[in-house]
């Protein structure tokens, strides 16, 4: 087992990883930018190294600086968290070249599955249903390719994620313009302007399956997460299990995730994302070759520690979870992503000093955060303040507990999305479990009327 691991990330996820490392008896190293000297993850680590100026491209995205921090501190492995370099094949390869263990899949797997077009091919090879779409990236004959699929279609960036480089096209007259916009956005966000086309499903659910596979070929798929509540392709609330998934369907989803992991020869923890129509038919969408933001809801209902599984796999050890009981879970969990955004100003980022920070507690409450009273939010990074994870014996109780916890949460000095989450849990459609990826659009439109 490793003695020291460097966490190549910041804030909430860095603290989350460090907590597991401490429980495993492994020392942690934090890296930080000049803007993050007062960030909580720096205080929580056993050691900390400044790696550059405030902008992420000059610090958290600087591979040479991170590798230097590894050498200086004598760390044996790097945990990338999520975002930044977590799905960067060049970083994974650089770690391997320098004798450093990258806690995640190898560069070939990241390259193969991180590129959505090639991931689709692997899904087809594994017999997993995919939405009708182009066989590869589209560079010419836009209209011909789109008409083969049938409008409406989605133009999607082949590299990256987070809702970047996605366009819905319902009319052929708008195809060229939207193609150019999607390609330009993808190039700016990921350094790769390649896109491909998929059939657009009306009012689908976004369902994903967490899996873990060790180097011995042992694989486990965990119960699904429902991530349908999104705004502009960015997830706001996630829950597990999905209110729309039966045990029979759950078995099929888990089998599909396992087939994909085996087909790709994947080693590590990952997530297979699907779109599911109202008839319960699901289609492969993409693979995330890293830890997901919403991984705590899976941990809440299974008592697994997914970071621990990542570390064990990277150390060449077996999974600690039991593959034979992959679907075993208890209760229901909901995660609320609380962001520093001003709902009244179209979710504009809200920066400044946190004057008040009073967090909820009590049974079934977990809060993953790097916030504290008096902390000043830097303008350079993601706006997420905290993840409020609520567990209860059933979904109705989890919703009631969410309402209570959201009501206890007190933040001043900055604007937050707490009121948006209160709107969600009070909504009859959400309470009935009748949601899809267009839910937030309808909710926010109704609020304005």
Q: What is the residue extent of each domain of the chain?
A: 4-103, 132-199, 205-448
pLDDT at position 324: 46
Partnered with residue 412 across adjacent β-strands are 356
Q: pLDDT of 216-237, one tens digit each?
A: 999 999 999 999 999 988 999 9
Question: Contact at 8 Å (CB) between 197 and 206?
Answer: no
Q: How deeply is 279 buried, as exposed, middle or buried, from its count of CB atoms within 10 A (0-12, 13-18, 19+)? A: exposed
Instruction: Could you please state the CATH topology (level 3) that the domain comprising 132-199 is classified under.
Output: Dna Ligase; domain 1 (3.30.1490)
Give the model's pLDDT for residue 116.
77
C-alpha distances in Å from residue 344, one per residue of 348, 355, 440: 8, 20, 15
Question: pTM of the predicted model, to two decimals?
Answer: 0.90
Residue range 4-103, CATH number: 3.40.50.20
Tell me how many helices (H) and strands (E) the chain has. 15, 21
List the catalytic residues. 290
At 383, list the tokens. Answer: 């706006």
Could you tell me where the DSSP H helices lie in 191-305? 247-264, 295-302
Q: What is the dihedral of CA 167, 155, 238, 162, to 10 degrees?
A: -80
Q: What pLDDT does 322 receive?
A: 67
Residues 6 or more apart whose CB falls under 8 angstroms from that of 283 comprise: 129, 130, 131, 201, 274, 275, 276
Residues of the chain whose pLDDT is less than 50? Answer: 324-325
Neighbouring-strand partners of residue 238: 335
- Amino acid 333: pLDDT: 98
Q: Alpha carbon 51 to chain centroid distance?
A: 25
> What number does CATH give the domain 205-448?
3.30.470.20
Which tokens belong to 188? 């700016």
């Amino acid at each position: 087992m490793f003695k020291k691991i460097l966490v190549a990330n910041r804030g909430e996820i860095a603290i989350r990883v460090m907590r597991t490392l401490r429980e495993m008896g492994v020392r942690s190293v934090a890296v930080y930018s000049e803007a993050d000297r007062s960030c909580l993850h720096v205080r929580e680590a056993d050691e900390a190294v400044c790696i550059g100026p405030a902008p992420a491209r000059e610090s958290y995205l600087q591979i040479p600086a991170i590798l230097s921090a590894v050498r200086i501190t004598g760390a044996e492995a790097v945990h990338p968290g999520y975002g930044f370099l977590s799905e960067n094949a060049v970083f994974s390869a650089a770690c391997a070249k320098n004798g450093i263990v990258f806690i995640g899949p190898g560069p070939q797997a990241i390259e193969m599955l991180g590129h959505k077009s090639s991931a689709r091919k692997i899904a087809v090879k594994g017999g997993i249903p995919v939405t009708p779409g182009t066989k590869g990236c589209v560079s010419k004959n836009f209209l011909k390719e789109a008409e083969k699929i049938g409008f409406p279609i989605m133009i999607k960036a082949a590299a990256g994620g987070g809702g970047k480089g996605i366009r819905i096209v319902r009319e052929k007259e708008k195809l060229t313009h939207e193609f150019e916009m999607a390609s330009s956005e993808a190039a700016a966000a990921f350094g790769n302007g390649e896109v491909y086309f998929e059939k657009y499903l009306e009012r689908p659910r976004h369902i994903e399956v967490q899996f873990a596979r060790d180097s011995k070929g042992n694989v486990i798929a965990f119960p699904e997460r429902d991530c349908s509540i999104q705004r502009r392709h960015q997830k706001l609330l996630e829950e597990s299990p999905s209110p729309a998934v039966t045990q029979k369907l759950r078995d099929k989803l888990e089998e599909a995730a396992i087939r994909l992991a085996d087909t790709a020869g994947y080693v590590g923890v990952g997530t297979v994302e699907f779109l599911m129509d109202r008839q319960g038919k699901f289609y492969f969408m993409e693979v995330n070759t890293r830890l997901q933001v919403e991984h705590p809801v899976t941990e809440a209902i299974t008592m697994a520690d997914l970071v621990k599984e990542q570390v064990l796999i990277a150390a060449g050890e077996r999974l600690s979870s039991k593959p034979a009981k992959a679907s075993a879970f208890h209760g229901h969990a909901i995660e609320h992503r609380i962001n520093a955004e001003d709902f009244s100003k179209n979710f504009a980022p809200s920066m400044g000093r946190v004057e008040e920070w009073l967090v909820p507690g009590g049974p079934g409450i977990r809060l993953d955060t790097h916030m504290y009273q008096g902390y000043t939010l830097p303008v350079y990074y993601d706006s997420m303040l905290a993840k409020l994870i609520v567990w209860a014996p059933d979904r109705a109780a989890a919703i009631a507990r969410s309402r209570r916890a959201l009501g206890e949460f007190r933040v001043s000095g900055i604007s937050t999305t707490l009121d948006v989450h209160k709107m969600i849990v009070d909504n009859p459609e959400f309470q009935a479990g009748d949601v899809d990826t267009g839910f937030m659009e309808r909710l926010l439109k109704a609020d304005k009327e």
